[in-house]
Amino acid sequence: MMASSNNNPGAVEEKDEVVREFGPLLRVYKSGRLERPLVPPPVGPGLDPATGVQSKDVALGDYSVRLYLPPPSAAAAANSNTNKKLPVIVYVHGGGFVAESAASPHYHRFLNALSAACPALGVSVEYRLAPEHPLPAAYDDCLAALRWTLAASDPWLAAHGDLNRVYVAGDSAGANICHNLAIHPDDLLVDPQRSTETQGQARPLRGAVLIHPWFWGSEAVGKESPDPAHRAMGAGLWFFSCPETTGLDDPRMNPMAPGAPNLDTLACDRVLVCAAEGDFLRWRGRAYAEAVAKARGSAGVELLETQGEGHVFYLFKPDCDKAKEMLGRMVAFVNAT
């Protein structure tokens, strides 16, 4: 999934100039060559010495998943009944639909930490990226991965995963994907691969965690600027990733747009939205949490607003107090009865 990158700019032909650039995420050259400057080399699965979490990769055709299994000692400490199964967290990485990977060091580190802290069985999705695979490829891959998870299709899931406690979680574009997974519950319920253990559930997911979600729209919300240049800042990458889109009020990008599916249909009991003060998406996240609370009642909706930090800060500053606070809030959310 990771595009080749030339680390010697002097070796690039003079005519091969950059024709599109999306911040640090993606550069598109005249020749069609792509660079993803922000993405570090991938790391492999295995035993994490810091947490004792074991991970492995499972190839599933167009996509793959990396599974995370906490050590028995973590599960025993969390549960008085050592035979009790673990909650399952399906995690979707961010990267504007065009970059990043489940194998990126910061995502691998975070999933190890999250799986150990809950403890929970983690399922990190490696989905296809645009522009090589335009949307809806990423949505389709993540839906397939969630169905695969709900079917307990791997021995780790069958032996250790509690299919009555499945959560989706993701950041930025990954949070966008999580919303779009949860807003269409019938897509999860009708799959013939579903385990009979969960067929009768009205809401097949226990909860959704949306971290700094990438939503946008033609009209400003909260204290967003109505300036056209600001509106365009959140638009260019969406149009590039999803050529078939109807626009900024496409329900996949703006879940609060007129005609978007009713937020009461979310396929989960509870929602946690995380926002950051220094993130230009902050007001979208808050507006989404308020809209879900209005549609479903405030009891099942939580909003965590981190002061003094920016977009996905917890990935790059995992040891700071605010990152630990956010991780603790996620752990409490997953373990709430």
CB 143 within 8 A of CB 64: no
Question: Any idea of the CA torsion for 247, 252, 253, 259, to the nearest 10 degrees?
Answer: 70
Catalytic residue among 101, 104, 124, 172: 172
Which DSSP string corresponds to 148-177? HHHTT-SHHHHHHEEEEEEEEEEETHHHHH
Among this protein's residues, is 4 annotated catalytic? no
Beta-strand pair 63-69/54-60: antiparallel
- Encoded tokens for 146: 């969630």
Torsion sign, CA atoms 329, 331, 332, 336: positive
Beta-strand pair 121-126/161-171: unpaired
Q: What span, in angstroms and rounded, lies between the C-alpha atoms of 71 and 115?
A: 9
Q: Which residues carry out catalysis?
A: 172
